[in-house]
């Protein structure tokens, strides 16, 4: 089993273009696995990891409620945003500049065939990344995502959203970590279908408490990418191949 992972940073890329790219890799991987089983072959499958940002866009998962998009087409256009119904799990979310989006397209037969463990590993990589920037993130039982104020009496705020698809143990879609996006775009939706909790970003949290030594610095997208890539590599035991 190969733990080699082809890593590519696509920068700022249109959502549909990136979705099509994901789908192409995903379908090819699934088709190879099906052919191997049907024809008693042993053709290799390959793992991919995509980092990117998207222009303003709202995406609704297959189990989501369309009413959680709170604006009409006219307002979408005025805000320079697009809207897609897509084939991941979860409800509605926002992607935009300043948010790091990560798409692992992995054949979990190379790692472990446990989707819950897979999601916990993704969450843990984000939690460990936040810790490198003096931010304490964690989980809330029964809710997806990584949260700030998950363990105290302050209002919990989501800093990273997750939504994945898995077929034949091949994954696609992934996570969206808010580094320094325009958080006002989240006001146009009920984020992930959760109406009673706020959304935050690393920049917001780093600027909100002046007592910490890093609070006056604005976090760098490139720094976060570097740390998160390393945390994912450590947890999954990736062998990264730069594309």
Residues acting as catalytic residues: 192
Residues 35 and 90: beta-carbon distance below 8 Å: no
Neighbouring CB atoms inside 10 A of 20's CB total: 10
Distance of alpha carbon 52 from alpha carbon 54, whole angstroms: 7
Residues 134 and 140: beta-carbon distance below 8 Å: no
- Using DSSP, state whether 27 is helix, strand or coil: helix
Distance of alpha carbon 197 from alpha carbon 142, whole angstroms: 14
Distance of alpha carbon 22 from alpha carbon 50, whole angstroms: 9
- Report strand pairing: 4-12 vs 198-199: unpaired
Neighbouring CB atoms inside 10 A of 47's CB total: 25
Distance of alpha carbon 182 from alpha carbon 185, whole angstroms: 6
């Amino acid at each position: 089993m190969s733990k080699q992972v082809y890593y590519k940073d696509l920068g700022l890329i249109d959502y549909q273009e990136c979705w099509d790219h994901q789908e192409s890799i995903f379908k090819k991987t699934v088709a190879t696995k099906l052919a191997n089983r049907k024809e008693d072959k042993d053709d290799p499958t390959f793992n991919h990891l995509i980092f990117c940002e998207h222009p303003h866009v709202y995406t609704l998962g297959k189990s989501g409620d369309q009413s959680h998009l709170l604006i009409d087409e006219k307002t979408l256009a005025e805000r320079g945003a697009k809207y897609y119904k897509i084939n991941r799990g979860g409800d509605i979310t926002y992607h935009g500049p300043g948010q790091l989006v990560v798409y692992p397209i992995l054949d979990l037969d190379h790692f472990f065939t446990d989707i819950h463990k897979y999601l916990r590993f993704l969450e843990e990589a984000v939690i460990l990344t936040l810790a490198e920037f003096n931010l304490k993130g964690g989980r809330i039982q029964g809710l997806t995502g990584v949260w700030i104020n998950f363990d105290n009496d302050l209002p919990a705020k989501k800093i990273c959203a997750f939504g994945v698809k898995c077929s034949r143990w091949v994954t696609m879609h992934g996570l969206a970590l808010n580094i320094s996006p325009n958080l006002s775009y989240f006001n146009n939706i009920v984020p992930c279908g959760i109406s009673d909790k706020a959304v935050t970003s690393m920049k917001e949290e780093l600027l909100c408490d002046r007592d910490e030594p890093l609070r006056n610095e604005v976090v760098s997208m490139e720094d976060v990418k570097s740390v998160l890539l390393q945390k994912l590599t450590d947890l999954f035991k990736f062998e990264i191949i730069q594309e």
